[in-house]
Structure 1
Amino acid sequence: MSIELLKKLTGEEDTQLLMLLQTRATNLILSETNRTSLTPSLSLLIPEVAIELHNRSGAEGEHSRTEGGIAVVYGEKGLSTGLLQRIRMHRLARVAGHVFEAE
């Protein structure tokens, strides 16, 4: 995924911040799916996860917030429920402490 794409989607110009968000998004997807590498379909979710992480910056640790009559509820891991469901569709099962990933 291109940092230029993230710049356009977020309006953020700080390249280092966007690279950090991309790394965090990748690591979150890998840990949530019990994988060591991304599949092509999971790679498509990186921008969406990075955008949600960017939008949530400054609100870490909050589960919900209400300002001016607008309520925002954050899902598990700080991501929306729909996005987490799309990530978890690719989850590998863990059997006796081992994950068997096709190479």
Structure 2
Amino acid sequence: MDDIEKLKKLTGESDSELLSLLLEDAKEFVLYYTNRTEIVTGLQKTVRDLAVIALNRMGTEGESGRSEGGESYSFENAPKHIYDVLDRYRLARIGGRTYETKKEPPERVSP
């Protein structure tokens, strides 16, 4: 099951284009924040979580809180547990450069 199908199941949203856009934005944010060039396995769920958060916050952009019908809601940038995961995978910049381990292509074994 791909990420869009997972998001459809999690959210009940059926608009594949919207979910794809939210996933792409979340991926760009994660890559920028972690100084990486590709999403590693441990960050895939975080990308989906950020996309779900973005979907749930649609229509409340720019608000820090709201009160309706005696209920009060407050919004934070992203939950602390998201930043905890992102910080775990964040690469440090040394001398203005980031060093990331690149995957080596598998060696071909000839018969």
Alignment TM-score, normalising by the size of structure 2: 0.80
1:42 matched to 2:53? The reply is: no
CA RMSD, Structure 1 to Structure 2 (Å)? 1.5
- Equivalent positions of 1:36-75 (< 5 A) are 36-75=37-76
- Aligned-partner SS, 1:66: strand
Larger Rg: 2
- Percent identity reads 38
> How far does residue 41 in structure 1 lie from its aligned partner after superposition?
0.6
Unaligned runs of 5+ in 2: 103-111
Runs of 4 or more, structure 1, over 4 Å off, are: none
> How far does residue 64 in structure 1 lie from its aligned partner after superposition?
2.4
Conserved 8 A contact 2:34-2:87: yes
CA distance in 2, matches of 1:80, 1:46: 13
Unaligned runs of 5+ in 1: none
CA distance in 1, matches of 2:87, 2:5: 27
Alignment TM-score, normalising by the size of structure 1: 0.86
Conserved 8 A contact 1:74-1:80: no
Conserved 8 A contact 1:75-1:81: no
- Aligned-partner SS, 1:87: helix
When the two structures are aligned, how many residues end up with a matched partner? 101
